[in-house]
Amino acid sequence: MTALGPFGALSRSRAVLLSASVALVALSPSGCRNRKEEARQKADLAQALAQFQAQMGDLQKQVLDLRVRFDKLPEDLPGIDAVRDNLHALEEGLGVEDGRAKWLSGELDKAFASGKKEEIEAVRKAIPHGDGGITALIVKVTHEMAPLERLANQRRFFEKLDAEKAAAEAGPEKSAKPTPPRSKK
């Protein structure tokens, strides 16, 4: 025996046994996170989120084109209020979805940093699959705008004709310059 006596050797063997059990738990599949599987899941979820963001980006471009077309229309066309309301709803919906995508990106990072399966699953379920009806509303607004654009084009055509006619009628009177009186010397 050593100078520690029989209790010192027993204490040392307990410490070794405790260290071995901690190492065994740390190395066991139930005691640690599977880094490869976690990296694959994160890549899959990041890809799904990136696809959603790309889809929203494409939809935003379409809505921007609609906004440009709408802004060219006269404000007093019949039926323009309903189209304006739908266009505003589209823009608002896309703003919400853009905010959701940014929020989910942060939540995805937090979930994988924590390693909690419940949080990862919650992010997985929160990533939208589809556009939530935005494409259908884009089609609706596009179809609602077509007759308004035709009406606006007709109005511009007739306004131009009226302006040309008015100029032609007023033309000879305006273009004929009166001759100045001659002075007698």
As a whole number of angstroms, the distance between CA 56 and CA 64 comes to 12
pTM for this one?
Answer: 0.66
| Count of C-beta atoms within a 10 Å radius of residue 141 | 24
Q: What is the pLDDT of residue 173?
A: 58
Calculate the alpha carbon distances from 92 to 81, 98, 106 in Å. 16, 10, 22
Q: To the nearest 5 percent, what fractions of the chain are helix, strand and coil?
A: 80, 0, 20
Rounded CA-CA distance 142/93 in Å is: 16
CA distances from 182 to 59, 92, 173, 174, 177 (A): 73, 73, 22, 22, 15
**Residue 135, helix vs strand vs coil:** helix
Give, for all 185 residues of the chain, the pLDDT tens digit: 455 555 554 455 554 444 544 444 444 444 456 788 888 999 999 999 999 999 999 999 999 999 999 999 999 999 999 999 999 999 999 999 999 999 999 999 999 888 888 999 999 999 998 888 899 999 999 999 999 999 999 999 999 999 999 999 887 655 455 555 665 55
pLDDT the model gives residue 158: 93
Q: How far apart are CA 142 and CA 136, in angstroms?
A: 10
